[in-house]
Amino acid sequence: MEGALPVQAAATSTRRVVALGLCMLAATTIANYILVYLGIWATSTLGIVQGSAFASVMLVGLGGVLCDPLSG
């Protein structure tokens, strides 16, 4: 019965890592969706000129290009 405890601890640790990984995946998906559709929402809801709304999307993309390599 001594071998059962480490196996149970490993299974609990694995479940936690999987749950946290799924939360990170969900958060990234939601953030990406919001940032991609920011320009569409700005033009249709706020009435901002399309050029300005597209500039916001370009800035988000530029921020990703610059910051993603730094974050690993």
pLDDT tens for residues 16-29?
A: 999 999 999 999 89
What's the residue count for the chain?
72
Task: Give the number of C-alpha atoms closer than 13 A to the C-alpha of residue 43, restricted to the C-beta side.
Answer: 12
Q: Take residue 25 and report the two structure tokens written for it.
A: 């995946």
CA gyration radius, the chain: 21
For 15, the enclosing helix (H) or strand (E) is helix 4-36
pLDDT tens for residues 16-62?
A: 999 999 999 999 899 888 888 888 888 999 999 999 888 888 888 89
**Identity of residue 31:** A
Displacement of CA 2 from its chain's centroid (Å): 41
pTM: 0.60
Q: What is the SS3 assignment for 48?
A: coil
